[in-house]
Amino acid sequence: MKKIITWKLKLALLAILPAVLFGLSFWLHNIHAVQASGIISQLTPEVAISKTDIDQIIAGKPSNISLPSQGIDLAVADGEYNQKTGEWTLTKDKAHFAVISRNPNNYSGNTFIYGHNTDKVFKRLQSVKTDDIAQINTENGYRFTYKYRRSVEVSPRDTSIFSYEGPAILTLQTCSGLWDQSRQLLTFDLEKVEKL
């Protein structure tokens, strides 16, 4: 009796094994296709994409940001966050792309760009109004256009924005408050993507 059960178990495993191997092969092929398209680093593990979605995803590393109604037009450099000190990489004349956030894309997630609250950088963000636009040009020749939605003030150590999951958005950050003790976060919704 024990030999019959063991034999049936082996037979069942042999029947299941090809299906498991086929599924693994299909999964690896799709991951390879995503890596080849340069998108894998811009998607979180929670985001499932089908093969047909891969052809429709547009993404790129930001190189320039402009807010025409505020006269802002800046180069964008990479920015890092130091969790121990709570400080960000900053320069006096550029905006910074938080490399821990999502590259501008037409799929999902938050693109986070920040800069000093100075005349040369983001001071004029204080005058952004509903429906104003922000545009991000990418190194691979795309322009992402976003429309302003809202603004909130947060603590400098509040990093909850990096847990955002949802449609593609842009968040801009600069210092706020009488002594720059707070951070102003401005949220923009993706409107369109154009090839330059």
Domain edges within the chain:
2-54, 62-195
- Fold held by 62-195: Sortase; Chain: A; (2.40.260)
Give the whole-angstrom CA distance, residue 134 versus residue 97: 14
More confident residue, 21 or 180: 180
pTM over 0.85: no
The per-residue pLDDT for 180 is 77
Give the whole-angstrom CA distance, residue 137 versus residue 153: 27
Give the chain's mean pLDDT: 79
The per-residue pLDDT for 168 is 96
Instruction: Please answer whether residues 62 and 42 qualify as being in contact, where contact means their C-beta atoms are separated by less than 8 angstroms.
Output: no
Q: Cα–Cα distances in Å, from 161 out to 109, 112, 141, 148, 166?
A: 10, 9, 27, 16, 12
Report whether pLDDT(118) > 70: yes
Instruction: Please answer whether residues 79 and 89 qualify as being in contact, where contact means their C-beta atoms are separated by less than 8 angstroms.
Output: yes
Report whether pLDDT(119) > 50: yes
Q: Which of 20-24, 100-104, 110-114, 127-131 has the lowest mean pLDDT?
A: 20-24
Instruction: Please answer whether residues 176 and 182 qualify as being in contact, where contact means their C-beta atoms are separated by less than 8 angstroms.
Output: yes
Q: What is the pLDDT of residues 170-192, one digit of tens each?
A: 999 998 877 778 899 999 999 99
